[in-house]
């Protein structure tokens, strides 16, 4: 490893890095703006200047930018001398020429990298006497607030938005000191990753609109390590709370999963927990069908009355934590327990699980997905079903660029140079999907096929790789690209609704391994704990459709809206069949409305839970704040239910960790779930870990309107975290317990590097989450029959689900700002099909009773119809069904809005 | 009088030389010679030996630049030659004469350069306002294609070259070779960090050479007549001839080809006819708007890269801007700094935010609002912005050259502005 001299001291640093990341890794404070650990160096801001000397004799030296300077053995640098620090002060002073002094009213204030760096350089007095420039800000949609006057022109926003995330509608416009970062015209930012601008921007140009409107400074936010519940990827998050409201969600760094970035569904969807439709009190339906709130005592009595001596059945939930599901399964018995996924999806997840466990191909983490040098994506519009994984694929296709860079000995952090070198040369990505996808722009090939034909193509590709078949068509091209790679990845999922497709994906990966490739196989999962439910039910399970034929007297429904899983008629039949329904959930829905007893569940920000992502990684989320009113974590309600039912096996469970201790036994799955994070007895330097930063203010005042007496802080007996500003917040605390990032002089999220053992690498404390599938045994899946090739019908259309990042997920669609982006549920038709039906874009069409807006899409396979899945209007529609399409008679066309109207509306 | 190859086809009325006239006067002989038996390596050797240095401003040895282009073991794909005809340096109008009067000379030079580095596509990146030159070049390219000087299998040699004219969208920074490449790719005209140099990763990430118009116009003569002949054209250490120009209050502003090493006095007095009556020489920028002032004591220096460098300036484009004694040097420098601030691409902080700051300070001084501390601010910025390496490219350091030398030679003028609270030159008019 090279040894460099900085300010007269020798340091050993990692080979191949640049001086800036080396210095930061050594704990030396060196200010910077344009460099980003995930995006590398471009040398724009000139803030990380140091003086480099040629040798010991060189007394003059020259100013170099640390981010653009490779560390080489024997290199000599002066970081803190007058010349280097004077230069850095002048850089900040130049940036301040136009920066407004509006920190007191800026949403970034208190966690502003520009503030931190300004202080760090030592700059104090401004000499510029001229006027400051001002800009017109743009309306950028309901999620992001724009304030260009604060811009210091570091180019991070466009580098992230365009270069890293593939967006096209945000750009650096104009030139010299008028450079403007915005859209060509006002309008909602199109990238599903736009929210990362909030964290990428070193100052307050791009801020979180819902936070701006319901504002709290970072130092006043209480936060805890959490896991995103908006899809199956399991990104690590840091929700921030004050006054019992979720104020915002920030990224929580996990090098194996989401790294530095989230998708906008995850970042903005979480505020559904603030919705008006939250359930606050337990309630019982009275004789007139109205719900009456219950006191604790009355509730306990009602539970006893309804449960004692009764035969129980339970429906779990792929959006509830593993512990609550496990308790319900134990309470009702595995044979009376449904996973809560729709029956077809349950079967697909079981199949995906079986393939992942039994395949000789590697089941990759998200970070490993980024290392793939050829990708086959089967049946998923990934940007809408697992957006963060789509962002990982955008990095994977750059591996060709890194290979080219290696030939020229360009270091991986030489971002601009590598992009200029590679231009649009990419590692191959082949996308097979029912329509166009949001990854087509980087795809070497895209193939628009309905699910049956997708499965047939996958089967052909596998046969070609095995050498059993030949072709000169798409299958051969895809096979050739996969075989030319070293680390090919096959990625599929339940989105297309095809068992044969999952088998095909697994067969391709298997054939690639047999061909000597370090092949990877990955499947998406629809919800945050879908894989957990597949695991929990891997041996025993009752189908939702079979529940109606049991003799159960009480049905316990855990965090699940059955209308999303079953046809309405089946729900009604089940309701008629089982006399008592008890529902536990956080937001009103049509299932709770059918229950006899409703128990208010804590939302994901209010409960401890373990979620198992698509990779089989168990990750623990901790409550950010205690649940208000009579809300309680679902697992606590289930313990109450068990007590009321007289269940003795669960009666010894007192706090969260007891669930694992009591129930895990020899089961490696349950042992794994229990050890996903340090337990409640963990202490750092003998202390619990605070959720509140040490500057948390107003503790004695924030409830003064209710009572002048400061309430006692809520104890958290369930975890090693405390609802307090007191405790040990060291930089080496375990990743699973990283409640916030802060370090002296580093108030923004850029302080993260203080928590890393190396820049962009592992955390200093132990990592977060535990992979479960590596040590489990699951029976292999019986191969599904290969479906017949698709042939269109005269008067019927084959339905194919289309997933929408904003809208298809049950809860995130209620997030602040996201409601405005879900749009109407739509039906997608090939233009020729539409004209046969006499439909135009914007018209209404009726499918199986649902009136949907018609959208024309030339990528839709003729004879098939895409539909917005997961929308309230489309719950009755199922992928793979043949339907009639009729013209909606009394359809109101959506008025066309223009940008300025939206601006006024907001 | 010594030979002046570059302008031998320039007519007194500046009418363009067409293909027939160009050929009649010995044109395309260099190309014929090369295609008939010289290998690219032979051509490179000749250009290296000629000691030709880039005429765009930096004076980098052309042969050496070309030698960095990988010729073997290069991954399959194009290589590019780009002619930098984006002549926008303040006070510079030399390439325009070559483009408008003798387009085939440039095209022949480009074919030879492209052949030497193995490029199969060549671009002429031309200043947007040079409409006439762009039209003439397009016509000349069409003529050359018909005669098989361009296109497929040139003169039966097996070598093929496509040539295109691309009009700039009009930014000074496009004259910086990597910004030019970015612009040609359709991106913002931001310069690129080096390494990697364009010779290995340039246009579309492929090996690329960018040469100035005048540089390339020398190539046919060097190939045809040889390096010794070329060296003999110069009077001193530097080889060849050079287009020199003078603007300002002189009797005969213009542009002339003269041997390298001609003294400044000869250019100013013999060609430009000396100062207009009633005006004295206060100083001059020897090589365009981004070079340091020289003054009367430097008049007998020869225009050579090293000599001008030692005197504290740069030969730049070789086109002088004369500052007379009735023009305010503060206003003169302010005008230049405002130009460069306006032309900053906006990529790096010192240039983007530092140049306008300097323009504002100079405006304050010029308008009588200056303070003694303003001179400290200017001095501080000279070390902050003025050094190559402090900024992303050479624009801002170049922009600071007139300012830093004005403070050196004309500091008294700055002081008089501040002390008197007004521009002392305004009364003189």
- Among chain B residues, CA nearest to A32: B349
Chain B interface residues facing chain A, Cβ-Cβ under 8 Å?
75, 171, 182, 185, 188, 192-193, 195-196, 200-201, 204-205, 341-350, 352-357, 360, 364, 373, 377, 380-381, 384, 387, 389-392
pLDDT above 70: residue A901: no
Q: Chain A contacts of B170, Cβ < 8 Å?
A: none
Tell whether A693 is covered by a domain: no
Compute φ and ψ for A250, nearest 5 degrees: -110, 160
Minimum-distance CB partner of A408 among B200, B204, B350: B200
Q: Is B162 helix (H, G, I), strand (E, B) or coil?
A: strand
Q: What is the pLDDT of residue A703?
A: 85
Please answer yes or no on whether B356 and A44 come within 8 Å at the CB atom: no
Beta bridge partners of B258: B242
Are A270 and A413 members of one domain?
no
Q: What is the pLDDT of residue A755?
A: 96
B194 vs chain A: nearest CA distance in angstroms? 8
pLDDT, one tens digit per residue, over A316-365 is 999 999 999 999 999 999 999 999 999 999 999 999 999 999 999 999 99
Taking the CB of residue A134, how many other CB atoms lie within 10 A of it?
10
Residue/partner pairs of B196-200 with CB below 8 Å, 24 or more apart: B196/A408, B196/A410, B196/A417, B196/A421, B197/B68, B199/B65, B199/B66, B199/B68, B199/B69, B199/B70, B200/A408, B200/B68, B200/B69, B200/B70
Are A410 and A467 members of one domain?
yes
Q: Which residues contact B422 (CB under 8 A, 6 or more apart)?
A: B368
Please answer yes or no on whether B380 and A90 come within 8 Å at the CB atom: yes
Please answer yes or no on whether A44 and B384 come within 8 Å at the CB atom: no
The predicted model gives B32-60 an average pLDDT of 95
Please answer yes or no on whether A43 and B204 come within 8 Å at the CB atom: no
pLDDT above 80: residue B1: no
Tell whether A385 is covered by a domain: yes
Size of interface A-B (CB pairs under 8 A): 115
Compute φ and ψ for A548, nearest 5 degrees: -70, -15
What is the value of pTM for the model shown?
A: 0.96
- Among chain B residues, CA nearest to A96: B353
**All domains of chain B in start order, with CATH:** 19-233 (3.40.50.11540), 241-324 (3.10.20.600), 329-428 (1.20.1440.230)
DSSP tally for chain B: helices H, then strands E: 19, 8
Q: Is A811 on the interface with B (CB under 8 A)?
A: no
pLDDT bin (cut points 50, 70, 90) of residue A768 is confident
- Among chain B residues, CA nearest to A34: B348
pLDDT bin (cut points 50, 70, 90) of residue A627 is very high
Tell whether A335 is covered by a domain: no
pLDDT bin (cut points 50, 70, 90) of residue A555 is very high
Range of the domain at A835: 797-905
Tell whether A654 is covered by a domain: no
Q: Is A589 on the interface with B (CB under 8 A)?
A: no
Q: What is the pLDDT of residue A906?
A: 40
A64 vs chain B: nearest CA distance in angstroms? 6
Please answer yes or no on whether A44 and B347 come within 8 Å at the CB atom: yes
Q: Which residues contact A437 (CB under 8 A, 6 or more apart)?
A: A377, A380, A381, A382, A383, A431, A443, A446
Q: What is the pLDDT of residue A471?
A: 86
- Among chain B residues, CA nearest to A418: B205
Query: What Rg do the C-alpha atoms of chain A give, in angstroms?
Result: 28
With b meaning 16 or more CB within 10 Å and e meaning fewer, what string describes B340-371? Answer: bbbbbbbbbbbbbbbbbbbbbbbbbbbeeebe
Q: Is A377 helix (H, G, I), strand (E, B) or coil?
A: strand
Final residue belonging to a domain, choices A274, A290, A315: A274
A221 vs chain B: nearest CA distance in angstroms? 34
* Both structure tokens of B300: 């007998």
The predicted model gives A202-212 an average pLDDT of 97
Give the C-alpha separation, A299 to A281, whole Å. 10
Q: What is the pLDDT of residue A903?
A: 45
pLDDT above 50: residue B253: yes
Give the C-alpha separation, A680 to A716, whole Å. 9
Please answer yes or no on whether A128 and B196 come within 8 Å at the CB atom: no
Give the C-alpha separation, B402 to B339, whole Å. 12
For chain A, the domain total comes to 4
Are A150 and A61 members of one domain?
no
Q: What is the pLDDT of residue B407?
A: 98
Question: In this predicted complex, what is the ipTM?
Answer: 0.95
Tell whether A761 is covered by a domain: no
Please answer yes or no on whether A95 and B349 come within 8 Å at the CB atom: yes
Please answer yes or no on whether B389 and A62 come within 8 Å at the CB atom: yes
Which of residues A898 and B370 earns the better pLDDT score?
B370
Element (H, E) at A708: none
Please answer yes or no on whether A46 and B75 come within 8 Å at the CB atom: no
Please answer yes or no on whether B357 and A64 come within 8 Å at the CB atom: no
Q: What CATH number corresponds to the domain at position A76?
A: 3.10.20.740
- Among chain B residues, CA nearest to A42: B193
Tell whether A598 is covered by a domain: no
Substitution target in A175, A203, A414 with the highest count of B β-carbons within 10 Å is: A175
Give the 3-state DSSP-derived string for A237-286, with helices as H, strands as E and coil as C.
Answer: EEEEEECCEEEEEEECCECCCCECCCCHHHHHHHHHHHCCCECCCCEEEC
Q: What is the pLDDT of residue B75?
A: 81
Q: Chain B contacts of A130, Cβ < 8 Å?
A: 356-357, 360
Final residue belonging to a domain, choices A472, A494, A525: A525
With pLDDT > 70 as the criterion, what percentage of chain B qualifies?
A: 99
Q: Chain B contacts of A414, Cβ < 8 Å?
A: 193
pLDDT above 80: residue A896: no
Tell whether A862 is covered by a domain: yes
Strand order in the sheet with B254-259: B254-259, B241-247, B319-324, B281-285
B389 vs chain A: nearest CA distance in angstroms? 6
Give the C-alpha separation, B23 to B134, whole Å. 21
Please answer yes or no on whether B349 and A178 come within 8 Å at the CB atom: no
Q: Is A286 exposed, middle or buried (0-12, 13-18, 19+ CB in 10 A)?
A: exposed
Are A471 and A383 members of one domain?
yes
Please answer yes or no on whether B384 and A97 come within 8 Å at the CB atom: no
The predicted model gives A286-309 an average pLDDT of 94
CA proximity to A167, closest of A192, A185, A134: A192
Are A15 and A156 members of one domain?
no
Q: What is the pLDDT of residue B371?
A: 96
Task: Tell me the CB-side half-sphere exposure of residue B170, using CA atoms within 13 A.
Answer: 6
Please answer yes or no on whether A172 and B346 come within 8 Å at the CB atom: yes
Please answer yes or no on whether B353 and A43 come within 8 Å at the CB atom: no
Minimum-distance CB partner of A420 among B192, B381, B387: B192
Are A88 and A134 members of one domain?
no
Q: What CATH number corresponds to the domain at position A505?
A: 3.40.228.10
A83 vs chain B: nearest CA distance in angstroms? 10
Are A142 and A222 members of one domain?
yes
Are A76 and A211 members of one domain?
no
pLDDT, one tens digit per residue, over A770-789 is 999 998 999 999 999 999 99
Give the C-alpha separation, A143 to A140, whole Å. 8
Please answer yes or no on whether A97 and B342 come within 8 Å at the CB atom: no
pLDDT above 50: residue A902: no
CA proximity to B399, closest of B252, B244, B289, B279: B289
Tell whether A717 is covered by a domain: no
Task: Tell me the CB-side half-sphere exposure of residue B105, using CA atoms within 13 A.
Answer: 28
With pLDDT > 90 as the criterion, what percentage of chain B qualifies?
A: 95
pLDDT above 50: residue A484: yes
Give the C-alpha separation, A516 to A484, whole Å. 11
Are A381 and A507 members of one domain?
yes
Element (H, E) at A77: strand A76-78
Minimum-distance CB partner of A177 among B205, B352, B392: B352
* Both structure tokens of B156: 């039966």
Final residue belonging to a domain, choices A525, A543, A571: A525
Substitution target in A41, A43, A46 with the highest count of B β-carbons within 10 Å is: A46
Whole-number mean pLDDT of chain A? 95
Please answer yes or no on whether A91 and B349 come within 8 Å at the CB atom: yes
The predicted model gives A364-381 an average pLDDT of 98
Are A391 and A511 members of one domain?
yes
Minimum-distance CB partner of A177 among B171, B200, B346: B346
pLDDT above 80: residue B18: yes
Please answer yes or no on whether A44 and B201 come within 8 Å at the CB atom: no
Q: Is A148 on the interface with B (CB under 8 A)?
A: no
pLDDT, one tens digit per residue, over B79-120 is 999 999 999 999 999 999 999 999 999 999 999 999 999 999
The residue whose two tokens read 């690639």 is A512
Q: What CATH number corresponds to the domain at position A850?
A: 2.40.40.20
Q: What is the pLDDT of residue B428?
A: 55
With pLDDT > 70 as the criterion, what percentage of chain A qualifies?
A: 99
Q: CA torsion A816→A820→A825→A826, rounded to 10°? A: -140
Are A401 and A506 members of one domain?
yes
Q: Chain B contacts of A51, Cβ < 8 Å?
A: none
Are A218 and A365 members of one domain?
no
pLDDT bin (cut points 50, 70, 90) of residue B2 is confident
Give the C-alpha separation, A108 to A747, whole Å. 10
Q: Chain B contacts of A417, Cβ < 8 Å?
A: 192-193, 195-196, 201
């Amino acid at each position: 490893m090279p040894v460099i001299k900085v300010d007269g001291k020798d340091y050993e640093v990692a080979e191949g890095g640049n001086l800036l990341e080396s210095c930061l890794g050594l704990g030396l404070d060196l200010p910077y703006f344009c460099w980003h650990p995930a995006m590398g160096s471009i040398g724009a801001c000139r803030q990380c200047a140091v003086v480099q000397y040629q040798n010991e004799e060189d007394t003059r030296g020259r100013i170099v930018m640390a981010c653009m300077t490779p560390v080489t053995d024997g290199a000599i640098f002066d970081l803190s001398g007058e010349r280097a620090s004077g230069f850095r002060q002048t850089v900040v002073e130049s940036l301040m020429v136009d920066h407004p002094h509006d920190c007191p009213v800026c949403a970034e204030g208190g966690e502003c990298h520009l503030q931190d760096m300004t202080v760090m350089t030592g700059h104090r007095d401004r000499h510029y006497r001229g006027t400051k420039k001002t800009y017109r800000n743009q309306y950028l949609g309901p999620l992001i607030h724009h304030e260009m006057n604060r811009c210091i022109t570091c180019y991070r926003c466009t580098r992230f938005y365009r270069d890293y995330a593939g967006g096209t509608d945000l750009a650096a416009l104009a030139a010299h000191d008028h450079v403007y970062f915005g859209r060509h015209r006002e309008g909602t930012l199109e990238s599903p990753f736009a929210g990362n601008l909030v964290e990428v921007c070193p100052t307050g140009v791009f801020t979180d609109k819902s936070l701006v409107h319901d504002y709290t400074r970072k130092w006043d936010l209480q936060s805890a390590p959490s896991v995103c519940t908006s899809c199956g990827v399991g990104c690590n998050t840091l929700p921030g709370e004050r006054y019992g409201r979720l104020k915002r969600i920030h990224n929580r760094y996990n090098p194996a999963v989401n790294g530095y970035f989230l998708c906008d569904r995850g970042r903005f969807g979480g505020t559904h927990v603030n919705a008006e439709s939250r359930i606050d009190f337990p309630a019982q339906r009275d004789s007139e069908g109205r719900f009456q709130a219950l006191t604790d005592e009355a509730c306990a009595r009602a539970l006893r009355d309804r449960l004692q001596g009764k035969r129980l059945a339970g429906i779990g939930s792929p959006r509830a934590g593993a512990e609550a599901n496990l308790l319900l399964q134990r309470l009702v018995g595995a044979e009376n327990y449904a996973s809560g996924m729709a029956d077809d999806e349950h079967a697909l997840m079981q199949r995906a699980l079986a393939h992942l466990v039994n395949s000789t191909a590697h089941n990759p983490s998200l970070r490993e997905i980024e290392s793939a040098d050829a990708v086959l994506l089967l049946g998923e519009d990934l940007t809408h079903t697992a957006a963060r994984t789509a962002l990982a694929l955008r990095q994977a296709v750059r591996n060709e660029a890194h290979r080219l860079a290696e030939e020229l000995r360009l270091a991986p952090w030489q971002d601009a140079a590598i992009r200029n070198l590679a231009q649009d040369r990419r590692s191959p990505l082949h996308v097979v999907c029912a329509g166009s996808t949001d990854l087509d722009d980087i795809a070497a090939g895209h193939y628009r096929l309905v699910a049956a034909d997708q499965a047939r193509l996958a089967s052909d590709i596998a046969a070609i790789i095995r050498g059993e078949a030949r072709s000169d068509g798409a299958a051969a091209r895809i096979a050739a690209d996969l075989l030319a790679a070293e680390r090919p990845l096959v990625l599929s999922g339940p989105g297309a609704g095809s068992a044969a497709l999952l088998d095909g994906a697994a067969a391709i990966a298997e054939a690639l391994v047999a061909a000597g490739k370090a092949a990877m196989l990955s499947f998406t999962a629809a919800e945050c704990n879908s894989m957990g439910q597949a695991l929990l039910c891997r041996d025993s399970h009752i189908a939702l459709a079979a529940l109606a034929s049991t003799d159960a007297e009480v049905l316990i429904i855990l965090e699940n809206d059955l209308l999303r899983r079953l046809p309405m008629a089946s729900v009604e039949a089940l309701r008629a069949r089982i006399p008592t329904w008890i529902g536990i959930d956080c937001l009103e829905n049509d299932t709770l409305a059918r229950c006899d007893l409703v128990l208010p569940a804590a939302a994901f920000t209010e409960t401890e839970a373990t979620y198992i992502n698509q990779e089989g990684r168990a990750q623990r989320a901790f409550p950010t704040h205690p649940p208000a009113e009579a809300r309680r974590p679902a697992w606590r309600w289930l313990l109450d239910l068990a007590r009321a039912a007289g269940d003795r096996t669960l009666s010894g469970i007192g706090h969260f960790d007891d669930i694992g201790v009591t129930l895990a036994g020899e089961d490696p799955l349950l042992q794994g779930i229990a050890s996903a994070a340090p337990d409640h007895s963990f202490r750092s330097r003998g202390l619990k870990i605070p959720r509140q930063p040490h500057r948390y203010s107003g503790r004695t005042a924030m409830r003064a309107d209710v009572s002048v007496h400061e309430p006692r802080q809520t104890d958290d007996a369930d975890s090693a975290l405390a609802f307090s500003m007191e405790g040990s917040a060291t930089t080496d605390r375990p990743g699973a317990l990283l409640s916030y990032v802060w370090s002296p002089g580093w108030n923004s999220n850029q302080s993260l590097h203080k928590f890393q053992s190396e820049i962009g690498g592992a955390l200093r404390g132990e990592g977060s989450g535990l992979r479960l599938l590596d040590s489990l045994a699951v029976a292999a899946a019986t191969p599904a029959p290969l479906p017949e090739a698709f042939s269109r019908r005269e008067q019927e259309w084959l339905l194919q689900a289309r997933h929408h990042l904003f809208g298809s997920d049950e809860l995130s669609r209620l997030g602040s700002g996201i409601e405005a982006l879900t749009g109407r549920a739509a039906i997608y038709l090939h233009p020729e099909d539409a004209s046969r039906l006499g439909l135009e874009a914007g018209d209404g069409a009726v499918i199986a009773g649902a009136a949907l807006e018609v959208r024309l899409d030339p990528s839709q396979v003729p004879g098939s119809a895409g539909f917005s899945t997961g929308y309230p209007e489309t719950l009755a529609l199922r992928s793979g069904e043949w339907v009639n399409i009729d013209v909606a008679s009394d359809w109101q066309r959506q008025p066309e809005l223009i940008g300025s109207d939206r601006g006024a509306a907001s | 009088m010594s030979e002046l190859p570059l302008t031998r086809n320039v007519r007194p009325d500046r009418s363009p030389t067409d293909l027939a006239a160009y050929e009649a006067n010995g044109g395309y002989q260099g190309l014929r010679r090369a295609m008939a038996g010289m290998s690219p390596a032979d051509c490179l050797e000749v250009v290296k030996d000629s000691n030709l240095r880039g005429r765009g401003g930096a004076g980098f040895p052309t042969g050496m630049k070309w030698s960095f282009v990988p010729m073997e073991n290069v991954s399959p794909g194009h290589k590019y030659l780009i002619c930098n005809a984006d002549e926008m340096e303040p006070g510079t109008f030399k390439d325009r004469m070559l483009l408008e009067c003798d387009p085939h000379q440039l095209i022949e030079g480009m074919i030879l350069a492209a052949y030497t580095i193995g490029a199969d596509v060549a671009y002429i990146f031309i200043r947007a306002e040079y409409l006439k030159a762009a039209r003439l070049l397009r016509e000349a390219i069409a003529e050359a294609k018909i005669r098989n000087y361009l296109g497929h299998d040139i003169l039966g040699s097996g070598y093929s070259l496509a040539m295109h004219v691309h009009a700039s969208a009009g930014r000074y920074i496009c004259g910086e070779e990597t910004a030019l490449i970015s612009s040609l790719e359709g991106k913002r005209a931001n310069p690129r960090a080096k390494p990697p140099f364009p010779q290995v990763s340039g246009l579309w990430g492929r090996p690329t050479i960018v040469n100035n118009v005048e540089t390339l116009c020398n190539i046919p003569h060097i190939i045809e007549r040889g390096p010794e002949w070329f060296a003999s054209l110069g009077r001193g250490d530097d080889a060849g001839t050079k287009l020199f120009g003078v603007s300002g209050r002189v009797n005969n502003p213009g542009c002339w080809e003269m041997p390298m090493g001609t003294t400044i006095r000869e250019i100013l007095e013999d060609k430009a006819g000396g100062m207009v009556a009633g005006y004295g020489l206060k100083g001059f920028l020897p090589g365009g708007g981004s070079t340091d002032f020289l003054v009367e004591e430097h008049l007998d220096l020869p225009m050579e890269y090293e000599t001008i460098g030692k005197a504290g300036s740069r030969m730049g484009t070789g086109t002088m801007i004369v500052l007379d004694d009735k023009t305010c040097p503060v206003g003169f420098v302010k005008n230049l700094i405002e130009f460069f601030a306006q032309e900053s691409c906006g990529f790096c902080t010192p240039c983007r935010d530092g140049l306008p700051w300097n323009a504002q300070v100079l405006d304050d001084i010029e308008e009588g609002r200056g303070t003694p501390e303003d001179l400290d601010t200017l001095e501080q910025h000279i070390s902050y912005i003025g050094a190559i390496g402090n900024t992303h490219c050479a624009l801002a350091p170049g922009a600071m050259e007139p300012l830093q030398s004005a403070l050196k030679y004309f500091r008294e003028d700055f002081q008089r502005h501040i002390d008197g609270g007004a521009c002392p030159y305004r009364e003189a008019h």
